[in-house]
Structures are given as C-alpha cells and as structure tokens.
Amino acid sequence: MSHKEAIKQRSIGVDVLTLSASPIPRTLEMAFAGIRDLSMITTPPADRRPILTHVGEHSDPAVVEAIRRELLHEGQVFFVHNRVADIDQVSKRLGQLVPDARIAVAHGQMDEGTLERVMVDFWERRFDVLVCTTIVESGIDLPSVNTLIVDRAERLGLGQMHQLRGRVGRSAQRAYAYLFHPADKVLSETAYERLRTIGDNTALGSGFKIAMRDLEIRGAGNLLGHDQSGPVAAVGYDLYVQLVAEAVADAKGFVVPDVVSVNLDVPGEAHLPKDYVEADDARLEAYRRLAGVTTMDELADLRLEWLDRYGPLPRAGEGLLELAQLRLLCLQLGVSSLTVSPAKVGVRSRPLVKLGPLDLSVSQQTRLRRLHGSRAYVEATKELRLEVETPDATPRALADLLTTLTAVTTGPSA
C-alpha cells in the first residue's frame, strides 16, 4: 500500500486504475461511498473452467489422492504451508506420503538466486510438487499447475484464499483446490465464515461476491489511515457512510440537500431480480440511482433507461418503480409514513391505509371525510393522521389515492 501511495504522490492529478481479483474492504467501501468509480470484468478467458473447491478437515489420504490424481494427468501441484519454521518438515512428510513425487520448497526467506532457481526448475517441470508459502498468491502463471492444497487455511484471509485459488486452473484443464483446517481444533466464528464463503463461491467471476462478504466480516477500515479493514465502531456503519458521502460532496463543491425519509409498509414484490440485471455492480448502481430520484420526470427517464438496457420490466421491477412513485407522492404531500393493514373478515372487508402527518384545515378535513370513508384523527403526538379504506392496496392504487388526496389538500382551505 505504501508503494502505491508513493506513486500517487509523484503523479498528483493523474487518474489511477486499480485492478483487483477481490478488492480489500477499504477499497470496496470507497467505491460504494462514491470516492472511487467501480466497474467489473465478468467475462472469463476463453476455455476457462470453474475450480472445484473442497473445504474440510485435514486428511492425509485426501492429500495423497489429490497429488496422485494430478500426477496421473501429468500436472503439477502447489502445496501451501505458510510457516517457514517447519516447511522443510512438511516437505519431508509429503515425500513419505507420496514417494514417487518430486518435491521442491520455496519461501520468501530464501536468497534471491536460490528462489529463482527453484521456480525456474519448477517451471521446466523438474519438480511435481512445490511446497511454498503464500508468495505464489500473485504474479504466478503456470498453466501446468492444476491442483492447489492449502494447509491451515483457517489462518488465511478471504482475499488470500481467492488469490491462491486463482493460481490454478489457468488452462483448459479441470482444476482442484483443497482448503484444509485441523481436525482437532474448533474454528473461530470468523474463520468458519471465511471458509464457508470461499467454499460457496466457486463460479467464475465470484471475486466481487467474496469481497462483499469480506467487507461484511471485517468491516470497512480507515479511509485516511493505514488500516485496510476493521469496524467503524465509533459512529456506526450507516452514519459513517452518510458522513463520508457528505464529505465527498463537500470536497467536490456540491450542496448536500437534507434527505427526507419516507416509511412505506406496502404489500407486494418490489426488487430487481438477478435474472433481469445479472451483474452485481450494475444492480447496486440501479438501486443507488433509484434512491436518488427526486422528481417524476427523473423516474420516467430511469424507467426508459432500464427498458433500453435490460428489456421489459418483470413484475417485481414494475413494483419497485411504483413504490418509488409512491415515495415521491408522499414527499409532495408531506407524508412521512404510510402503512397498509390487511382486510379483516367480519370486521373490515377492505384494506386500511394509514398515513401522515398532515397539515389540514377544518374544511379540508371535512372534504377528506367524504373520500373513501376516510377518517382524520390526532395521535398522542398531536400530529394529524388519516385512515382510508381502499379496495386495492397495490402501490399503483395507493399512488392514485395519494394523487386524489393531493388534489383535495391543495384546494381552498376556507
């Protein structure tokens, strides 16, 4: 990180493009907060196949089977043991388990010449198994290596495991990754979550999902310090994101408007299905764009954009736009809360809509009583609220109801 920052200091004002298979939590959070732009490359190289991943307790028979299968395919193996102190003993133990395998050792404490000679020999297929530390997690492209075995995987981070897994399967051959943890030790909750995440996300292009989960597990880190991960315990995550967004807007010279929230409790589907917007980053950007809509014209433009980019909207997508329209109408009317209670058999045959607060004169309240049998009442908070029975409680019908209410409440007050 210090090297990257030094380069940026020498080239102030120059745009920087950062490429990452699984961005660290702080980098991903910068993208979500608007400090960095984010785009994804989701098309894998030609003939690239997903890596079959096994996560489980360490087993000598499983290690032997994995190595022998790769030797039968005339391939090579990475065996990652990230402790230099006993890496030679691990190499000897593997030699006893698989006597016919040619084994070499590589780690960062070796002198440069020796390390280079070992790697060149491994490249030239003079060895079958390379027992190494995590120095191979980046910058290594060996198409002949199609099996990865990681010892004590619970000690590694999600980004490390994803990077290591990417060292195999770099050809059209089927690749295998074995992530082992000790059978006689209880895993911590964090270690368990990391291993479960890497085991569940094996599809090509899953690095973004892994990074998202890493952000949830480790926290966003320090944007202005050296910590690349960690909880934002002082203020809470939501407030932290809001403060960062305001600071970024202020630095750009933008006026940050006060955001008025609307609480909507309305039945129905309202989301963008994954099969409609497949890319995770595009779906997140669509939600962010929708949340920033402030006028009906902007909402109509966004709808046309979605139709143009993704095709006809599914029912859940239509419901999402209708809910956004309902939110805008609530803002126009000054309503901060709208809830729908379902109909009750024998008590109330139609759903009941409750909304408020409202600023109405006596004559306006009188006109509203004639509308759908509505009833105005004052809560303990002294705020005027409204109850309306409606035959249809869908977002579209509620939008029509709010349009009618707007016409009534903007009429003469005397």
**Cβ atoms within 10 A of the Cβ of 195, count?**
21
Which CATH superfamily groups domain 52-204? P-loop containing nucleotide triphosphate hydrolases (3.40.50.300)
**End-to-end CA gap in the chain:** 68
Q: What are phi and psi of 121, to 5 degrees?
A: -65, -40
- Reading the block at residue 184, the tokens are 């006689």
The beta strands (E) that lie in 46-126 are given as 52-57, 76-80, 103-106
Q: Where are the alpha helices (DSSP H) in 73-222?
A: 87-97, 112-123, 158-165, 189-200, 207-218
What is the residue whose two structure tokens read 């607060």?
A: 357
What is the residue whose two structure tokens read 């133990």?
A: 93
> Is 343 buried (19+), middle (13-18) or exposed (0-12) by CB count in 10 A?
middle
| C-alpha neighbours within 13 Å on the C-beta side of residue 143 | 7
Question: Going by C-beta distance under 8 Å and a sequence separation of 6 or more, which residues neighbour residue 321?
Answer: 290, 299, 302, 303, 313
What DSSP element (H or E) covers 6? helix 2-10
- Which tens digits make up the pLDDT trace of 140-156? 889 999 999 999 999 99
> Is 227 buried (19+), middle (13-18) or exposed (0-12) by CB count in 10 A?
middle
Sign of CA dihedral 306, 311, 312, 317: negative
Q: What is the pLDDT of residue 154?
A: 92
pTM over 0.85: no
Tell me if the bond preceding 45 is cis, omega within 30° of 0: no
| Distance in angstroms (rounded) separating the CA atoms of residues 91 and 270 | 56
| Distance in angstroms (rounded) separating the CA atoms of residues 200 and 217 | 15
Q: In terms of Cα–Cα distance, which of 351, 342, 353, 344 is closest to 376?
A: 353
What is the residue whose two structure tokens read 């910068």?
A: 30
Q: What is the pLDDT of residue 225?
A: 52
Most distant pair of Cα atoms in the chain: their distance? 98
| C-alpha neighbours within 13 Å on the C-beta side of residue 142 | 28
**Residues 44/196, Cβ–Cβ less than 8 Å:** no
- Reading the block at residue 228, the tokens are 């690349």
| Residues of the chain scoring pLDDT < 50 | 228, 233, 380-381, 413-414
- Which tens digits make up the pLDDT trace of 271-314? 888 889 887 778 878 887 888 888 889 999 999 999 998 899 99
- The residues spanned by each domain of the chain are 52-204, 269-329, 333-409
- Which tens digits make up the pLDDT trace of 102-141? 999 999 899 999 999 999 999 999 999 999 999 998 778 8
Q: What is the pLDDT of residue 134?
A: 92
Q: What torsion do the CA atoms of 256, 281, 212, 252 make, to the nearest 10 degrees?
A: -30
Which CATH superfamily groups domain 269-329? Transcription-repair-coupling factor, D7 domain (3.90.1150.50)
Q: In terms of Cα–Cα distance, which of 195, 180, 188 is closest to 58?
A: 180
DSSP 3-state of 22: coil
